[in-house]
Amino acid sequence: MSLLAVRNMTRRFGGLLAVSDVSFSVYKGEIFGLIGPNGAGKTTLFNLITGLTPPSSGDLEYKNRYITRLKPHQIAELGIARTFQNIRLFGNLTALENVLVSQHVHTRSGVLSGVIGTPGARREERQARWQAMELLEMVKLSDRAHVPALSFSYGDQRRLEIARALALQPELLLLDEPSAGMNANEKTTLTGFIREIRDRFGLTVVLIEHHVPMVMNLCDRIAVLNFGQLIALGEPAAVQNDSAVIEAYLGEQ
Amino acid sequence: MNLTAGFQIIVNGMATGGVYAIFALGYTLVFSILGIINFAHSAVFTLGAYFTYALLGSQFGFNGLLARGRLPFGLSFPLALLGGAILAGLVAVMVERLAFRPLRKRGADPLLMLVSSLGVAVAIVNIIQYLFGAEPYTFPNILGGLPGSVNLGTPGTPLVARTVQLLIAGVSLVILALLTVYINYTNTGKALRAVAEDATTASLLGINTDRLVLLTFFLSGFIGGIAGTLVGLSVGITGPYFGIAFGLKGLSVIILGGLGSIPGAVLGGIVIGIGENLVPAEHVGYKDAVAFALLFIVLLVRPQGLLGRTQIQKV
């Protein structure tokens, strides 16, 4: 079943066609890779899906519902979470607070009951904290829950960003170059971790990734973008031998 | 300097400083979310004082559209203070809708929002003059049967303070405490801090940033209105331009404390408040000079303000 359908997505920036008539579907439960050379339009596509950038034309369908014109916070509420290529944590907030911020959506207590501390609000707050700590535990950061995020190492910040995205309780998780800046060992661990969260939370994952072995090993299907156009789509082995893909990466022979 | 005089300097300093602090926090809240100074804040401050005055059921002046009128009811002071603050908060929300949001949506330069907020300030001041006239207003005695001053010491070593000053200091401290708890320990407070750091990322985590901007303006107007009432209680409402001079003082408070820093605004307010009250009564005309001299000296030594952070540029 298709969870997300991208239909004829096009985005122009002035004279540049950043994304050009791209269509594909992401099926529920799969790990879907988005690869392509630098400037191919991968991050722009993420920005289109999350509502940060409005499309020039084209449609987005998520769980059989058009989400093309929704605002970012509405799309997030529907269960699409993402991380960033250049990590964007709230540096002055603690690790725990970073995670709690995205649980904001799922806590019901209003502006006033939160201040007064009604029993319902307090119960909700306790539960949110407990869940947040569990997520931090999972990414092995629970011992530093009260440390501001900016003092974390690069790898820790990446994991915290994933924990924060998971706190949104998403069904679709978009990871923008999750392995950037990691060594081979960390990349292997990350591969296992992505599988683990997919299974544990019943997620569908779309990831942008440059590290080819990781993509081939991890992804069920792969889409290849080049100059904003979709040039190949399919299982890793098929994509790997596609002549258009080889040309895009290695140049014409 | 004897003990009583010293004590009075501290009480008056805390009262003045507390009001400066909550007033300046109105600037700080908006600045930390939108990165701009909202010049309409001083006009909302003025309005707050007029609103509370009206809600107390007091008679309006002899000029202006509402001359000699009064509301058909009069509220007790705590309710009038709260009502005035809520109305001031709603005006601040209108200011956001009219002067800020349209520009924000078009991605305008922040400088333009600064100018449009200045325009709104001028408009509000003129509306006040049109409605209430240009004359000064004096608040009725809101203390009821309470004495005008209290002795907190013993008859032998008197520590006398004006009741109004104690009230002002008390209300300011309560507001500061509530705001601190609200911003640091509630979900909405966390969301506010997240939006202040990175509104785009906050929106991707499901936070409705437009709603939080409105809330911020409401809070800013609310505390601005309370500050207006408190200053009005202390020195009276000097006229529609009441807030303008105070607005300048508020700006020096946030710059002294560190732009965008909440503890900074509080510290800046208290430092300037106590500094001003150290000026002996016979040289009272130099009060403002002291405030701005303090600002000048601090900026020489710490250009980022007392608690301001030096900007760390992310690469």
The number of beta carbons lying within 10 Å of the beta carbon of residue B147 is: 9
State whether A72 and B200 contact (CB < 8 Å).
yes
In this complex, the residue of B187, B206, B208 whose CB is nearest that of residue A114 is B187
Give me the mean pLDDT over the A213-239 stretch: 91
Q: Is the pLDDT of residue B1 over 60?
A: no
Q: What is the pLDDT of residues B128-163, one digit of tens each?
A: 999 999 999 999 988 877 888 888 877 877 788 888
Interface contact A73-B187, CB threshold 8 A: no
Q: How far apart are the first and last CA of chain A?
A: 39
Q: Output the pTM of the full model.
A: 0.87
pLDDT digits (tens, 9 = 90+) for B14-58: 999 999 999 999 999 999 888 889 999 999 999 999 999 999 999
Close Cβ partners of B296 (under 8 Å, ≥ 6 residues apart): none
Q: What is the 3-state secondary structure (H, E, C) of chain A?
A: CEEEEEEEEEEEECCEEEEEEEEEEEECCCEEEEECCCCCCHHHHHHHHCCCCCCCEEEEEECCEECCCCCHHHHHHCCEEECCCCCCCCCCCEHHHHHHHHHHHHCCCCHHHHHHCCHHHHHHHHHHHHHHHHHHHHCCCHHHCCCEHHHCCHHHHHHHHHHHHHHCCCCEEEEECCCCCCCHHHHHHHHHHHHHHHHHHCCEEEEECCCHHHHHHHCCEEEEEECCEEEEEECHHHHHCCHHHHHHHHCCC
Q: Which of B213, B243, B198 is nearest to B97 (CA)?
A: B213
Contacts of B195 in chain A (CB under 8 A): none
Question: Hey, where are the domains in chain A?
Answer: 2-79+170-250
Q: Do A105 and B205 touch (CB under 8 A)?
A: yes
Question: Is the pLDDT score of B314 beyond 50?
Answer: no
- Do B191 and A104 make contact, defined as CB atoms within 8 angstroms? yes
Reported as a pLDDT band with limits 50, 70 and 90, residue B62 is confident
Average confidence (pLDDT) over B3-10:
82
Residue type, position A6, single letter: V
CA distances from B7 to B1, B2, B13, B148 (A): 10, 9, 10, 17
The stretch B61-70 carries a mean pLDDT of 84
Better pLDDT: A27 or A119: A27
Which residues in B lie closer than 8 A to residue A90 (C-beta atoms)?
A: 193-194, 197-198, 201-202
Strand A57-62 relative to strand A65-66, pairing: antiparallel
CB contact under 8 A, B207 and A90: no
Decide yes or no: CATH 3.90.550.10 for domain A2-79+170-250.
Answer: no
Residue of A48, A73, A89 best to disrupt the B interface, most CBs of B under 10 A: A73
Chain B interface with A: residues with Cβ < 8 Å: 178, 181-182, 186-188, 190-191, 193-194, 197-198, 200-209, 215
Find the closest chain A residue to B212 by CA distance. Answer: A111
For residue B212, which residues of chain A lie inside 8 Å, CB to CB?
none
Are B203 and A107 a contacting pair at CB < 8 A? Answer: no
For residues B161 and B149, the answer to whether their CB atoms sit within 8 Å is yes
- Please state, rounded to an integer, the average pLDDT across all residues of chain B: 89
Residues of B in contact with A76 (CB under 8 A): 203-206
Q: Residue A203 pLDDT > 50, yes or no?
A: yes
pLDDT digits (tens, 9 = 90+) for B111-124: 899 999 999 999 99
B110 pLDDT band, cuts 50/70/90, is confident
Alpha-carbon distance of B242 to B226, in angstroms, equals 14
Interface mutation vs chain A, best among B105, B178, B187, most A CBs within 10 Å: B187
* Cβ–Cβ below 8 Å for A101 and B190: yes
Contact yes or no for B204 and A104 at CB 8 A = no
Mean pLDDT, rounded, of chain A: 89
Q: Are A236 and A215 in contact (CB under 8 A)?
A: yes
Contact B190 A168 (CB under 8 A): no
From CA A2, how far away is CA A61, in angstroms rounded? Answer: 9
**pLDDT for position A108:** 57
Q: Which residue of A has its CA nearest to B177?
A: A115
Interchain pair A104, B203: CB under 8 A: no
> Residue B254: what pLDDT?
92
- Mean of pLDDT values over B79-92: 97
Locus of tokens 């901007």: B213
Cα–Cα separations (whole angstroms), residue A222 to A32, A117, A120, A196: 6, 48, 45, 20
- Measured between beta carbons, the chain A residues lying within 8 angstroms of B215 are 111
Under the banding of pLDDT at 50, 70 and 90, the label for residue A109 is: low
Distance from CA of A96 to the nearest CA of B (A): 11
**Which residues of chain B does A52 touch, with a Cβ-Cβ cutoff of 8 Å?**
200, 203-204
Q: Averaged over B99-107, what is the pLDDT?
A: 90
The whole-number pLDDT of residue B313 equals: 43
Q: B236 pLDDT exceeds 70?
A: yes
Cβ-defined contact of B191 to A93 (cutoff 8 Å): no
| CB-based contact B186 A77, cutoff 8 Å | no
With b for 16 or more beta-carbon neighbours within 10 A and e for fewer, the B178-205 pattern comes to ebeebbeebbbbbbbbbbbbebebbbbb
Q: Which of B190, B312, B315 to mutate to test the interface with A (most CBs of A within 10 A)?
A: B190
Of B294, B293, B276, the residue nearest B285 (C-alpha)? B276
List the single residue in B with minimal CA-CA distance to A107: B187
Quick check: B315 pLDDT over 50? no
Using 50, 70 and 90 to split pLDDT, how confident is the model at B299? Answer: confident
The secondary structure of residue B137, as a DSSP letter, is B
Q: Is B118 helix (H, G, I), strand (E, B) or coil?
A: helix
Taking an 8 Å Cβ-Cβ cutoff, which residues of chain A contact chain B? 50, 52, 71-73, 76-77, 81-82, 84, 88, 90-93, 97, 100-102, 104-105, 107, 109, 111, 114-115, 125, 128, 164, 168
pLDDT at B126: 95
Which pLDDT does position B68 carry in this prediction? 85
**How many Å from the N-terminal Cα to the C-terminal Cα in chain B?**
54
Q: How far apart are CA B168 and CA B166, in angstroms?
A: 5
